[in-house]
Amino acid sequence: MVTVNTFKENKGKKKMTMLTAYDYITAKNIDDAGIDSILVGDSLGMVMLGYPNTLAVTVDDMIHHGKAVVRGAKNAMVVVDMPFMSYQTSKEDAIKNAGRIVKETGCHAVKLEGAYIEEIKAIVNAGIPVVGHLGLTPQSVNNMGGYKVQGKSADAAKKLIEDCLKLEEAGCFAITLECVPRRIAAYITKKLHISTIGIGASNECDCQVLVWQDMTGYSDGPKAKFVKQFANLYEEEQKAFKQYKKEVESMEYPSTEHTYIMSDEDYREAIKDFE
């Protein structure tokens, strides 16, 4: 079973893997493949619920999907995102919502975006492991003016490094770095004693994370530079759906092998009173 200790032990020695999942069967498939960790990302707002961004996602949404993922994961560590406005408002809200997420889903850690140092300290003090998230933080999309690479200028990179150090000090066991230039991701990864989890932050990070719809070909939006499509399951599924429609319409399916058969005698007996 992967735990916070696995992240510590592998730091600087062995690269780790994380994928997002939002339902039981995908979590089970990811777990069966030996992926170290599963993130129930608030990206579910877009890829599962069809919202334009992550802002409308609620704590209840995260708990609903988190529960299903935890049931599917036997070995992988499950991290659940804290959604927009579930921790930004106060330390009390942060502890209350992190506590609900852990208690009601059975997940092993929470992740939150930004340098919410006091809120992170409070959650860690309550005994809940926290993954930070810096660089491109999708919950601040309106503030950033879109989804863009972060930490590119010297000043922005300096602030990013400072925030990473603060998050480590606050007690995070790992930090997700999203859309960060390689040199800065490498510098941060070397500087920190905790793990970095990269998404668009180069192979210098200790761990990589991708959204499963992106890496399996299900995403319908524009593809970010860092996304590699490892399979095209959308195409496979389209083939299956179209073949199903064709076979139903031609009565090829269901064929005898997919049909329950009754003896002539029982059939005659069953209908005789209605004839």
Q: Which of residues 25-44 bind ligand KIV (CB under 6 A)?
A: 39, 41-43
Classify the phi-psi angles of 145: left when phi > 0, otherwise alpha if psi is within -120 to 50, otherwise beta: left
Considering the rule CB under 6 A, would residue 98 count as an interface residue with ligand KIV?
Answer: no
What number of other Cβ atoms are within 10 A of residue 100's Cβ?
A: 15
Q: Which of 20, 189, 202, 213 is in the footprint of ligand KIV by CB under 6 A?
A: 20
Which one of the listed residues 113, 168, 178, 204 is annotated catalytic?
Answer: 178
Binding residues for ligand KIV, total number by CB under 6 A: 12
Do β-strands 109-113 and 77-81 pair in parallel, antiparallel, or remain unpaired?
Answer: parallel
Q: Which of 209, 212, 213, 216 is in the footprint of ligand KIV by CB under 6 A?
A: 209
Considering the rule CB under 6 A, would residue 211 count as an interface residue with ligand KIV?
Answer: yes
Rounded Cα distance between 112 and 174, Å, is 11
- In terms of C-beta density within 10 A (0-12 exposed, 13-18 middle, 19 or more buried), how is residue 147 classed? middle
24 contact partners, CB below 8 Å, separation of at least 6 = 68, 69, 71, 72
Three-state SS at 35: coil
Whether 178 is a known active-site residue: answer yes
Which is nearer to ligand KIV, 20 or 196 (by Cβ)?
Answer: 20
State in angstroms the smallest separation of the CB of 238 from ligand KIV.
24
Q: Which of residues 121-150 bind ligand KIV (CB under 6 A)?
A: 133
Q: Which phi and psi (to 5°) does residue 110 adopt?
A: -120, 160
Do β-strands 77-81 and 37-40 pair in parallel, antiparallel, or remain unpaired?
Answer: parallel
Q: What x-and-dash track marks residues 168-187 binding ligand KIV by CB under 6 A? A: --------x-x---------
State in angstroms the smallest separation of the CB of 20 from ligand KIV.
5
Residue nearest to ligand KIV (CB): 41
Rounded Cα distance between 4 and 260, Å, is 51
Considering the rule CB under 6 A, would residue 80 count as an interface residue with ligand KIV?
Answer: no
Catalytic (active-site) positions: 178
Write out the residues near ligand KIV by the rule CB under 6 A: 20, 39, 41-43, 81, 133, 176, 178, 199, 209, 211
